[in-house]
Amino acid sequence: MNLKILYQWNVVLPVLSVVALVLTWGRDLPPPVVVIVALLLGGAVLAAVHHAEVVAHRVGEPYGSLILAVAVTVIEVALIVTLMISGGEKSQSLARDTVFAAVMITVNGIMGISLLVSALRRRIAVFNPEGTGGALATVAAIATLSLVLPTFTTSRPGPQFSPAQLAFAAVVSLGLYLLFVAVQTRRHRDYFMPITTAGEVIDGEDHLEPPSARTALISLGLLLIALVSVVGLAKGISPAIESGVASAGLPHSVVGVVIALLVLLPETIAAVRAAARDRVQTSLNLALGSAMASIGLTIPAIAIAMIWLSGPLLLGLGGTQMVLLVLTFVVGTLTVVPGRANILQGGLHLSLLAVFLFLAASP
């Protein structure tokens, strides 16, 4: 690695973030330090986006979209588990709040802004309805199994699964996610390749040579460093987030929304960049893949963590949340079926995101 590489921002920021993590770990942070840590956290997120894109470019689509989706899910699971360990009774619904927020942000926010960006630039956003429809159906099935059914089961009081039901839901969710990955990467890989507005399949980056194996390995290492920094620094400032939410008089569920917004920032940036390059399918792969991984990997991980965690795990959604979830999937289905979208569809999804955020703050 030469001196030029050493001084690049995407190398310096992960290193500085790790240094900050070591210096602040386990300490009560005064407000000025919280601000500095938050800035380094944002820098680590941006660095993670860059290095994930380098690795994704090396391995190609649709594998590249999976890399960032899994990386983001690792951050999410780590944050949920660490906050549940230290959060007491208020954290019993944190997994539900975070996962539900992730679904609403990905399906409405990332999808909506990607479609809007592409439609504004080229009037029509074109994508493959077979692959996108299958992804949306899988997200709907896993979300209903994990977030809706617990409200109606009767083995345990409250919106929670019994241990057997939680284990079954975790296995099914993980199985569906792995089945989708197999379809996406092998059996029907062509369903998830980006296409242009003219309907031409884009296999690889236009006129851009993929990075060398050495460059990709360096980026993979820096990606891991950035992810560790994001998790650690986010945990460090989480008390400030929780106290800020409480001081503002907002429901504790807003903490889950903040976590989801934070961990999904890399995917949002990557999806918007892809949409601006006429790769809407890549954007939708990122959005729906993140939603699927958020549930299909987070729920099994939390189920395993509950072996050591005390207290109930509240997973079932309330009535308002279920209405928003159903409306999201109905609108999403109507968006996906034609394989073409304009600014109206983008605006619809972003409006649903705005409704979700408003009701999260003012239920």
DSSP structure string for 229-290 = HHHHHHHHHHHHHHHHHHHTT--THHHHHHHHHHHTHHHHHHHHHHHHTT-HHHHHHHHHHH
Q: Burial level of 288, CB count in 10 A (0-12/13-18/19+)?
A: buried
215 within 8 A of 321, measured Cβ to Cβ: no
Q: How far apart are the first and last CA of the chain?
A: 52
* Whether the bond into 194 is cis, omega within 30 of 0: no
204-251 pLDDT, tens digit per residue, is 544 457 778 888 888 888 888 887 887 788 777 777 777 777 788 888
22-46 b/e with 16+ CB inside 10 Å = b?
Answer: eebeeeeeeeebbeebbebbbbbbb
Answer whether residue 291 shows pLDDT above 80.
yes
Tokens of 48: 């993670």
pLDDT band at 199 (very low <50, low <70, confident <90, very high): low
Tokens of 324: 């928003």
Owner of token pair 């079932």: 316
Owner of token pair 């390059």: 277
168-186 pLDDT, tens digit per residue, is 999 999 899 888 888 887 7
32-57 pLDDT, tens digit per residue, is 888 888 888 888 877 877 787 788 77
134 within 8 A of 299, measured Cβ to Cβ: no
Domain count, the chain: 1
CA distance 360 to 363: 6
131-158 pLDDT, tens digit per residue, is 899 999 999 999 999 999 999 988 888 7
Owner of token pair 């960006």: 117
pLDDT band at 343 (very low <50, low <70, confident <90, very high): very high
CATH of the domain at 116: 1.20.1420.30
Range of the domain at 208: 3-361
179 three-class SS: helix
